[in-house]
Amino acid sequence: MKLCITCQGTALESKVDERFGRAPYFLIVDRETKEFHAVRNAALTAGRGAGVVAAQILSDLGVEALVTGIVGPNAFHALKAARIKVYEGASEIDTAAAALGKFTQGVYRGASGTGGRSGGGGGAREILPAFGVFARPSRYEGLPTGVVEAMACGVRGVATAVNAVSDVVVPGETGLLVPPDDPRALAGALNSLLGDPGRAAAMGRLGRERAIAQFGWPAIAAQTAVLYSELAG
């Protein structure tokens, strides 16, 4: 049986990547021979429909089962059509080796194609990876949660440079910022990302790294601990 684990690197010691279509690598494991090899995800730079493209890649590789964090509806249907069983729930806390062990123990649930929601509605982690570009043309923002969520999903984005948005997005590195109420600038920034998939993919990777490092739960917990320690004297 050929099993695929979505990974951030090329070894069994690499961390799992929870995103199916946007994972940098697919670790292909032959459960009979215990041999494995990594395949770079060519769908990573796809403007849209990365999950569907990734499903075709796995089908061409003869993969029979997939272990990942979560799979969007379109990608799920493509995987189902290719007769690839989908197992969700893998976490970036785990290495590929740990994920393989959990799969063997039956820890992961079989996916239903609804992202774990009975109504079939999608959450940010299921919907955002399908975006070619994320746009947030706000006139006012507090902490731009939508921008942080898009970055965490590896989606390159364009936002307006208002309030705390500039604290989240590093212009030209993790996304693009434009002035508010300037539709020409917004359209130009969006077109520049759509027309340069390589640059957009690089921004997506850097944006994801920044979102996790600055706004992930471990980072928030550490910052909260420091704050309480300071208040306690």
Same domain for 93 and 13: yes
Nearest-CA neighbor of 129 among 217, 48, 26, 24? Answer: 48
- pLDDT, one tens digit per residue, over 40-86 is 999 887 767 788 999 999 999 999 999 998 888 888 999 999 999 99
CATH of the domain at 159: 3.40.50.2000
**Structural domain boundaries, residue 212:** 131-229
CATH of the domain at 104: 3.30.420.130
d(CA 133, CA 189): 10
Q: Is the pTM of this model over 0.95?
A: no
- pLDDT, one tens digit per residue, over 167-188 is 899 999 999 999 999 999 999 9
Same domain for 135 and 106: no
